[in-house]
Amino acid sequence: MPELPEVEIVRQSLNKKIIQKTIKKVIVRNRNLRIKVPIKFKKILENQKILNVDRFSKYLILFLSGRNKLLIHLGMSGTIHLLEQNKKNFFTNMSFYSSPELPNKHNHIEIFFDKFRLVYNDPRRFGFFEIIKDQQSLEKRFKKLGPEPFNSRFNINYIYNKLKDKKKNVKNFLLDQNFISGIGNIYASEILYLSKINPSKEGRSINKTECKKIFKNSKLVLLNAIKKGGSSIRDFKDALGKKGSFQKNFKVYGREGLKCKRIDCKGSIQKKNISNRSTFFCNFCQK
């Protein structure tokens, strides 16, 4: 599943291509996504101009020239592809993982502009397209979600007050979108490594110094990931289909059995399942 950095890269790519472009035609090939595509989806979108492409957490938000907004979530396997007319499209995938080219199957939604079209592909169909009627409805849609790491609401006191007196482990807190929005499995492991905190440590055992580390490293890891194009991402702007490179900077994720990258550490990277999610950590320096 894409995390905040991957979705941000898709947002940036879309912003470069579809802003101020008018939707000419919409084809819905399969309505049965995680949330069923509305019957009036085609009618609502056609002839609308894209004013802006925003993002909250792992959600893309397309602002249309009417009051409506189009909310997109890529789910587990959703990818967005851009195909230009009269041009051989070697690399179409703006998303991550999967093929850099548009697959033959599972192309559920197509949105046509003047000289190109946007195609949503999703083999597992856990993603969705949702019409939001106005700004108030959009704010209500995200009301229960926690702040992003870059939001002023996310601060040391917020972290400490949420964790104190809780038996829940800190890894699960970072994955809880009601606590903090946008962090997924990969980046939670990386954040806790930089913070020298064991992922199994209970929230009530996290002190304010450790909260400060979580606050600092949550921003640091995500900003670095965005800067490097995310993890295993293919940006449609790259004619060579170049991947995002943050995976080369992983300190723990996917490094089971390898030596800890800290110069003064004698530990090795271990893997364990926490709530059925693969979790990587150093057995020596993460206390």
Active site residues: 2-3, 58, 277
The strand pairing partners of 202, in sequence order, are: 169
In three-state form (DSSP H/G/I as H, E/B as E, the rest C), the secondary structure along 76-99 is CCCEEEEEECCCCCCCCECCECCC
From the centroid of its chain, how far is CA 212? 24
Distance CA(14)–CA(72), nearest Å, equals 12
As a whole number of angstroms, the distance between CA 213 and CA 79 comes to 33
| Alpha helices, DSSP H, located in the chain | 4-18, 41-45, 135-141, 156-163, 170-175, 185-194, 208-227
Phi and psi at residue 218, to the nearest 5°: -60, -45
What are the structure tokens assigned to 43, written together? 């009618």
Most distant CA pair in the chain: distance in Å? Answer: 62
* Residue indicated by tokens 């450790």: 210
Q: How far apart are CA 192 and CA 198, in angstroms?
A: 7
| Tokens found for residue 153 | 């609401």
